[in-house]
Structure 1
Amino acid sequence: MISICLLPTALPELFAQSSSTGRLTLADRYGMMATILSTQSTQEELHLIDRLLYGLRRGRIEIVDELSSVLTR
């Protein structure tokens, strides 16, 4: 069985980036999914996911089909 491990600061950074850009990328959605499926998710992490989903419902955040919002030059 494959084990999924997120970096400890991954979800807070994902939340901050999505909140500032108003976009949720494919990589962000996979990060959220990994957190939800993890048996070691903290209440704080689940609360951040709830806030992101609330932002989606209210139209403050949009789902985009880009892999990442990080710009490369």
Structure 2
Amino acid sequence: MPQMILLPGAVSEIFASVTETQQLTHADRYGLLAALIDESIPEEDLTAIDRMLRSLRRGRINVVNEISSVR
């Protein structure tokens, strides 16, 4: 099974992108999955993920069927 490796600063980059675009892409979801699998994830990253999930539940963020929001 391939190992998922989270790049440093990835969660804050995902958070900034999702906040700007109001969209959660495939790449964002895989990045968040890698972050949650990492047992040493910093508390600030967990807080950012919680905020995104809350926004998703409230309909402020849309899940899109795109690989990336970069065009």
- Measure the CA separation in 2 of the matches of 1:48 and 1:69: 19
Per-residue displacement from partner, 1:14-41 (whole Å, max 9, x unpaired)? 0011011000001100100110111111
The answer for unaligned runs of 5 or more in structure 1 is: none
Q: Between the two proteins, what is the percent identity of the paired residues?
A: 48
Residue 45 of structure 1 and its aligned partner are, at CA, apart by 0.8
Q: Do residues 62 (structure 1) and 56 (structure 2) align?
A: no
Aligned to 1:32: 32
Q: Do residues 47 (structure 1) and 47 (structure 2) align?
A: yes
Q: What is the root-mean-square deviation in Å for CA atoms of aligned residues?
A: 1.1
TM-score (norm 1): 0.89
Give the aligned length: 71
The answer for unaligned runs of 5 or more in structure 2 is: none
Letter in 1 for 2:54: Y
Give the number of the structure whose alpha-carbon radius of gyration is greater.
1
Residue 61 of structure 1 and its aligned partner are, at CA, apart by 0.4
